[in-house]
Structure 1
Amino acid sequence: MVWLEQCTAGVDTVVSRMRALGESWPEHDGLAVFNRVYLTVTEEVGRRLDGGYFPDRRAATALDVRFAERYLSVAEERAGERAGQGSVPACWRPLVQSRRHPGVRPLQFALAGINAHIGHDLALAVVDTCRALGCEPGDLEDEFEQVGMILVALEERIREDVMPGPDLLQVADPLTHLIGAWSLEQAREAAWSAARALWALRGLPGLAGEFAERLDATVGFTNRVLLTPLPL
């Protein structure tokens, strides 16, 4: 029972840290936009852990906490503006740099945050979890899929909270094009493939590091496109 209490405490701590971040940022700050939707999903993960939703609660919690830590390590440094831009992973850098740009819409901030977190952080979190638990990525596949289903709720939450109304989002609107150019499902599939590749390369640290660096840069490039300032 001790480890069950530790699992719940781990997720509760993550939730508390996200709430503190939300209180420290203006509502329209780009990181604040992503933080709100991610907080909602993390709270849902906590409820489902308590409700026995996951086959392996310990593995699911380990994955969820390590996944969140990847985001929190960036966000908490930004909260106090203590670190230079160079310390930010390439996947998060476009969002950090444009988080207060008046020409970037809330939906763009939200999608860019999801893209950075799933496209880059999730793969590394799977590897972190495997090392911590002494298992293989295949042993976490069920938990990965279950967390993935909750991530779908994140996308739905975004559509409810930050999607422009139908009168504002027309077919010719550039934002419509950006939304259609990104897929949550494809991002999840790519993250799983990247995690398996990184695990296979664990005995070749130089090559694994190069792969992770290229992954980071590729996701960052996509985010620069997603965060293109648009006419109001």
Structure 2
Amino acid sequence: MAQLEHFTTPVDAVLSRMRALDADLPEWDGVAVFNRVYLTVTEEVDQRLNAGEFTDPRAASVLDTRFAERYLAAVDEVARGRRPPACWRPLFQFRRHPGVRPLQFALAGINAHIGHDLALAVVDACRTLGCEPADLEDEFDRVGDLLASLEERIREDLMPGPDVLQIADPLTHLLGSWSLERARDATWAAARALWALRHCEEVADEFTERLDAAVGFAGRMLLTPLPG
């Protein structure tokens, strides 16, 4: 199972990376669309950490940072000319496609990050903190609830107007087929399974590879180009 280096990056350093990407990428770039969404999420988590809204601030900080590092590692892989995990490939491949709408880019990124990265981030955090997934469930739920509330705002902000939707009915059908709530439930089950398999490296690697591929397939469907 893929592991990152020992946790050293605080939330503010992760935010700095995302803000730098926001400044560097063209506004219309699909990765930039997702990055803006994720930057908003991470800023909100940081504010709530500073306000003492998490039961275990250290655990929440570790989980949030390990989570973000997975996305930033994919960005770095592409920048080096390497292939990112399968879950991220559709977003990077279609990032400039004129037939893909901003809302599709945002949800495809959320799909990759929630469906694959979050499960591995839970395991990363458990290793860092020396705890079990059950000890992180409250923090997992709080981050998930924040993502759910932001998803609603994302759909409102990025969904085309009613006149466009009359022409682009496939968009509402396509995006209605993906659910953040179902993705969260599947991710928690995957995280628990990966933790249970942590001493069976070969099986854990296969599980992770298949999870990555399945999430990537869903992301490719979300990025289906639509008529203008």
TM-score normalised by the shorter chain: which range applies?
over 0.9
Equivalent in the alignment of 2:21: 21
**Equivalent position amino acid for 1:186 in 2:** R
Identity within the alignment, %: 71
> When the two structures are superposed, what TM-score results if normalisation uses the length of structure 1?
0.92
Structure 2: where are the runs of 5+ without partners?
1-6
Q: Which residue of 1 aligns with 2:219?
A: 223
Q: Distance between the aligned counterparts of 2:200 and 2:76, measured in 1?
A: 31
**Do the aligned partners of residues 171 and 185 (structure 1) sit closer, same or farther apart at CA in structure 2, a change above 3 Å counting?**
farther
Deviations 1:53-78 (A, max 9, x none): 10000000000000000001112344
Aligned with residue 150 of structure 2, among 133, 148, 154: 154
Cα offset, 1:161, TM superposition:
2.6
Which SS does the other structure have where 1:26 is aligned? coil
In the superposition, the TM-score normalised over structure 2's length comes to 0.93
Displacement of 1:140 in angstroms is: 0.4
- Superimposed CA distance per residue, residues 65-99 of structure 1 (whole angstroms, 9 cap, x where no aligned partner): 00000001112344xx3223xx2100000111110
CA contact (8 A) 2:168 2:227 kept: no
Residue 76 of structure 1 aligns with an amino acid whose one-letter code is D
2:104 aligned residue: 108
1:149 maps to a residue whose letter is D
Q: Give deviations 1:25-76, integer Å, cap 9, x for gaps.
A: 1111000000001101100000000111100000000000000000011123
| Aligned position for 1:180 | 176
Mapped to 2, the partners of 1:196 and 1:94 lie a distance apart of: 26
- 1:83 alignment partner in structure 2: 81
Q: 1:176 to 1:10 in 2, by over 3 A?
A: same
Question: Counterpart in 2 of 1:120?
Answer: 116
In the alignment, structure 1 residue 66 sits paired with structure 2 residue 62: no
Counterpart amino acid of residue 188 in structure 1: R
Q: After TM superposition, what 4+ stretches of structure 1 lie above 6 angstroms from structure 2?
A: none
Q: Is the 8 A contact 1:91 1:221 kept in 2?
A: yes
**1:163 pairs with 159, 163, 188, which one?**
159
Task: Work out whether residues 91 and 223 of structure 1, in 8 Å CA contact, stay in contact via their aligned partners in 2.
Answer: yes
Equivalent residue, structure 2, for 1:130: 126
Note if contact 1:127-1:198 (Cα within 8 Å) is conserved in structure 2: yes
Native 8 Å contact 2:77 2:84 kept in 1: no
Q: Which amino acid aligns with 1:156?
A: E
Assess, with a 3 A threshold, how the Cα gap between structure 1 residues 202 and 77 changes in structure 2: closer, same or farther.
closer
Structure 2: how far apart are the matches of 1:117 and 1:130? 18
Deviation at 1:172, TM superposition (A): 6.3
User: Which stretch has the larger CA shift, 171-180 or 102-111?
Assistant: 171-180
RMSD across aligned C-alpha pairs, in angstroms? 1.5
Higher deviation after alignment, 151-160 or 53-62: 151-160
Is this contact kept in 2: 1:37–1:157, CA < 8 A? no
Specify whether residues 208 and 173 from structure 1 end up closer, same or farther in structure 2 by C-alpha distance, changes over 3 A only: same
Q: Which amino acid aligns with 1:55?
A: T
Q: Structure 1 stretches of 5 or more lacking a match?
A: 1-6
Q: Hey, what does 1:36 align to over in structure 2?
A: 36
The amino acid of 2:42's aligned partner reads T
CA-CA distance at 1:164 after TM superposition? 1.0
- 1:159 positional shift: 1.7
Cα distance, 1:70–1:77 mapped onto 2, change above 3 Å:
same
1:99 corresponds in structure 2 to 95
